[in-house]
Chain A
Amino acid sequence: MPLYLNEDQQMLADTASEFMSEQGSIEKQLRHWRDKGCKDGFGHELWGQFAEMGFTGMMVDEDHGGLGMGHVEAGIVLEQIGRNLTPSPFLTSSVMAASALGAGSDDLKGRWLPGLVEGKSVFAIAVDEGPKHNPQEIKTRAEKSGNGFRLTGAKTFVIQGASADMLVVAARTSGDDSDDEGITLFAVPKDAANMKQDPVRLVDSSMASHVTFDGVELDGDAVIGEVDGGREVLNRMLNAGRAGAAAEGVGVAGGAFDRTTEYLKQRKQFGKLIGEFQALQHRAAHLYSELEIARATAIKAAQMLDEDADKADLMVSVAKAKVGKVARLAVQEGVQMHGGIGMTDEYDIGLFMKRDRALHEFLGDHYFHADRVAKLSGY
């Protein structure tokens, strides 16, 4: 398969671009909800529009009302989300939770997927337990209790946790904290007793919860996939999320870059457009080059997940790391080249820097994935 978009994918990209720049714009969404102090950090109405566009269920199989599309297509939508800094539950609900639920029972799918497809439900992902992503170590425990389980522990960085109808929780049902085996994924409904959420606002205006489970009783049918055999489903979900975050990061970097090159073409100092200065031209050209490479890598990772998911680990980490580095460079250069005005809240460029920080941290930063690349490569 060639490493560029085919005709159908290009059409999707055009549609998503038009929709997101109109309905998902910074003005209409990010700034609007931020300035209102919205407790969700995103608009439910827009989520409904995502459903009308077919986005919410794009990765859900057709038997459950979705479109059965792949990671490349999801990446196309995510790039536009990134470009417009559109706050939405798309990555966690439509990509990650949908990936996990794909491994679930028919009952579980029947219970949760229709709401997702219709844009009525929002799902959150509860994996991290400390400030740095480390999914190998899972201390949250689920012990057998009657016909079900009893969940005890704490999760953090649960994006939109307080807005979610259901949380996908990774817990340990056996073994030691860092074992591969003994992981089980649960679909925990929002109203579960003894689950407490402490939502906090992050630097990019999104909402994330610290969640504690103090003996949360769950039915056996809350289990996603196999008891004790959840590591593979978890990895697949995390890879889907990482490749998706890479695609979104390409959009964030691209949006920052386009604003910056536009600014270089209109700002005058010393009687010249600042874009005439070679010192800035070379930095912009270097950034262009890096951004092109990052985009190619994000598409490749998504293609590999679609074609041969078992072999995609390395490329997913390469993509998350590379995009992380490049998007970081793009927002830093963006603010610097805007000069003083780049420090103001009125200008959008600073919003890109904030979003990059949060997105980069999500599901493993560049250091995490560089380490993973080395381990997967045998050193």
Chain B
Amino acid sequence: MAEDLDAFRAETREWLEANCPEEMRQPVHDERDVYWGGRNAEFKNDAQKAWFEACRDRGYTVPDWPKEYGGAGLTPPQAKVLRQEMARINARPPLSSFGIWMLGPALLHFGTEGQKQRFLNEIARGEIRWCQGYSEPGSGSDLVSMQTFGEDKGDHWVVNGQKIWTSYADEADWIFCLVRTDKNDKYRGITFMLFDMASDGVSTKPIKLISGNSPFCETFMDDVKVPKSYGEDIPGYVGEINRGWDVAKYLLGHEREMISGAGNKERSGSLGPKLARNGIDNPVLRAALAEYDIDALAYGCMGEKFLDELKVGKAHPAQPNMMKYAGTELNKQRHELMMSAGGSRALEWESEETSGGTPARSWLRTKANSIEGGTSEVMLNVIAKRILELPGA
């Protein structure tokens, strides 16, 4: 087993050496360095294209998905080796998407064979870009109170309502969307629907954030027709009708895991050595950095333990909430320190030296980390209830 793994590592290293272009072995600088795929996707350069295509053809956009759905069918230890080898050369992810991180895992768990064949392959090949329709203006932390309604018309629903904080809705091809289909049952009255963003009646409006960027949108649905079926064994919803909350909860686990940054080397590494290149004169700042580095390196250990335990089913099912809470609070602290160490230079909003205000904009962006996908306060509620089993929680 260990020998097989060594052979796999050698083979992987050789393949990466031959297929991962030099330009793709550098940290992401701006938004266009991330390839999201989709019907209207454009590559930033040839290297990005070559790297994506090489990975796609080998199933490495989704290495641990089964081969028949576009993955490489790697075992958990093999997938870990691939992650380690990619991290070793700082290889960028060939494809980023909510299809990979969120809808995919939900379909693997709840989808029909027909849905898997179609949607998972499209995701793995970067052909369709998905967005997520969860929050509504009146339903943030209390997500289950959502009101967007789908009226049953036999072979389809007519959906009306509004979603908010829909990431990249203005660039997405399809949406997975929570829609109320029974007004009399809060938890068992929601259906997890799938539909094309090009459908009549769907419109989006970007929301400008404090960072000056607009990664989120409002999404309006005005008499949108959502078919109950897209063909044989391809329902227009995931799981059962009125049982979408089960799918949503399952998916939130994945979302929280993702936002937690577990296993993200850049986020869980220490900060002091990087900032120290320009010298740290102030002993109080040095001490704050050392405190941060202890927390960051310790969180890195936790990320490793969590992912190891997750793979073999040892992790507590509510543990992603703890990871999300700790990881996002840490990331906010990281950017506070980076701003402090950067001084007045880090305040620049548009300068070339800061690539258009990256330090300040990133700092502001991290403030959403402990809000999106469930606030820190909600995470603490869930830990108190499901892990500590405190009364009345």
Chain B contacts for A299, CB-based, 8 A: 301, 305
Interface 1/0s, chain B 312-341, versus A by CB < 8 A? 101000010010011000000000000000
Report the minimal beta-carbon distance from A43 to chain B, rounded to whole angstroms.
34
Chain B contacts for A261, CB-based, 8 A: 388, 390
- Tell me whether B392 is interfacial, beta carbon within 8 Å: yes
Interface stretch (choices B187-195, B217-225, B268-276, B358-366): B268-276
Q: Are B390 and A318 in contact (CB under 8 A)?
A: no
Q: Are A4 and B314 in contact (CB under 8 A)?
A: yes
- Tell me whether A321 is interfacial, beta carbon within 8 Å: yes
Interface stretch (choices B43-51, B122-130, B175-183, B282-290): B282-290
Interface 1/0s, chain B 358-393, versus A by CB < 8 A? 000000000000000000010111011001111111
Q: Which of A313-332 contact B (CB under 8 A)?
A: 314-315, 318-319, 321-322, 325
Q: How far, in angstroms, from A371 to B291 measured CA to CA in the complex?
A: 9
User: Given A288-B322, A374-B293, A379-B289, do A293 and B298 touch, yes or no (CB 8 Å)?
Assistant: yes
Chain A contacts for B299, CB-based, 8 A: 293
User: Given A273-B391, A321-B294, do A281 and B381 touch, yes or no (CB 8 Å)?
Assistant: yes
- Tell me whether A370 is interfacial, beta carbon within 8 Å: yes
Q: Are A3 and B380 in contact (CB under 8 A)?
A: no
- Tell me whether A2 is interfacial, beta carbon within 8 Å: yes
Contact of A374 among B272, B314, B380, B391 (CB under 8 A): B272
- Tell me whether B346 is interfacial, beta carbon within 8 Å: no
Number of interface residues, chain A, beta carbon within 8 A: 41
Chain B contacts for A276, CB-based, 8 A: 390-393
Contact of B301 among A2, A3, A378 (CB under 8 A): A3
Contact of A294 among B290, B298, B309 (CB under 8 A): B298
- Tell me whether A176 is interfacial, beta carbon within 8 Å: no
Chain A contacts for B290, CB-based, 8 A: 370-371, 373-374
User: Given A282-B384, A289-B383, A374-B286, do A318 and B298 touch, yes or no (CB 8 Å)?
Assistant: yes
Contact of A285 among B289, B294, B295, B383 (CB under 8 A): B383
- Tell me whether B209 is interfacial, beta carbon within 8 Å: no
- Tell me whether A265 is interfacial, beta carbon within 8 Å: yes
Report the minimal beta-carbon distance from B116 to chain A, rounded to whole angstroms.
29
Contact of A292 among B289, B302, B314 (CB under 8 A): B302
- Tell me whether B297 is interfacial, beta carbon within 8 Å: yes
B297 closest partner in A (C-beta): A318
Q: Are B388 and A284 in contact (CB under 8 A)?
A: yes
Q: How far, in angstroms, from A322 to B298 measured CA to CA in the complex?
A: 7
A2 closest partner in B (C-beta): B308
Q: Are B298 and A281 in contact (CB under 8 A)?
A: no
Report the minimal beta-carbon distance from B291 to chain A, rounded to whole angstroms.
6
Number of interface residues, chain B, beta carbon within 8 A: 43
- Tell me whether A269 is interfacial, beta carbon within 8 Å: no
Q: Are A300 and B304 in contact (CB under 8 A)?
A: yes
User: Given A285-B383, A289-B322, do A373 and B294 touch, yes or no (CB 8 Å)?
Assistant: yes
Chain B contacts for A4, CB-based, 8 A: 305, 308-309, 312, 314
Chain A contacts for B295, CB-based, 8 A: 293, 322
Q: Are A322 and B384 in contact (CB under 8 A)?
A: no
Chain B contacts for A374, CB-based, 8 A: 272, 286-287, 289-290, 293
Report the minimal beta-carbon distance from A122 to chain B, rounded to whole angstroms.
33
A265 closest partner in B (C-beta): B391
Report the minimal beta-carbon distance from B206 to chain A, rounded to whole angstroms.
34
Report the minimal beta-carbon distance from B366 to chain A, rounded to whole angstroms.
18
Q: How far, in angstroms, from A273 to B301 measured CA to CA in the complex?
A: 35
Q: Are A284 and B384 in contact (CB under 8 A)?
A: yes
Interface 1/0s, chain A 205-220, versus B by CB < 8 A? 0000000000000000
- Tell me whether A296 is interfacial, beta carbon within 8 Å: yes
- Tell me whether B280 is interfacial, beta carbon within 8 Å: yes
- Tell me whether A147 is interfacial, beta carbon within 8 Å: no
- Tell me whether A311 is interfacial, beta carbon within 8 Å: no
Q: Are A377 and B304 in contact (CB under 8 A)?
A: no
Report the minimal beta-carbon distance from B391 to chain A, rounded to whole angstroms.
5
Q: Are B393 and A281 in contact (CB under 8 A)?
A: yes
Q: How far, in angstroms, from A86 to B377 measured CA to CA in the complex?
A: 37
Chain B contacts for A94, CB-based, 8 A: none
* 16 A–B contacts from the bound complex (CB under 8 Å): A2-B308, A2-B309, A3-B308, A4-B308, A275-B393, A276-B390, A276-B393, A293-B298, A293-B326, A296-B306, A297-B301, A300-B305, A322-B298, A371-B290, A377-B270, A379-B273
Please name 8 further chain A to chain B contacts, defined as beta carbons within 8 Å, in addition to the given A275-B390, A284-B390, sorted by A numbering.
A4-B314, A282-B380, A285-B387, A285-B388, A293-B301, A296-B301, A296-B306, A374-B289
Q: Which residues of A contact B (CB under 8 A)?
A: 2-4, 261, 264-265, 272-273, 275-276, 278, 281-282, 284-286, 288-290, 292-294, 296-297, 299-300, 314-315, 318-319, 321-322, 325, 369-371, 373-374, 377-379
6 smallest beta-carbon distances between A and B, as pairs? A379-B276, A276-B392, A285-B383, A281-B384, A3-B305, A2-B308
